[in-house]
Amino acid sequence: MKGPFNNLEASWQVIKKDKGCLVSFYVEFDVPFLLRPFMRQALIDSFATKYINAFIQRAE
């Protein structure tokens, strides 16, 4: 994946349940020192929400 990351590790875990499934999403990343002041929690949450929404759309 291209992006401004020194390192990015992400994984999904999908567990079948009686009436659907449980989906866990994990992401850990490191950005260059100069970008750290811009990595506010709201931006990180937005990033995660985009990945989760893309997964849901694909699953439907």
Structure tokens at 24: 């866990």
pLDDT value of residue 1:
56
pLDDT in tens, the chain (60 residues): 567 778 888 888 989 999 888 888 888 888 787 777 777 777 778 877 887 888 888 877
List, for residues 8-17, the tens digit of each pLDDT value.
888 889 899 9
Give the predicted TM-score (pTM) of the model. Answer: 0.53
In degrees and rounded to multiples of 5, residue 16 shows phi and psi of -70, 135
Measured between alpha carbons, how far is 3 from 5 in angstroms, rounded to an integer?
6
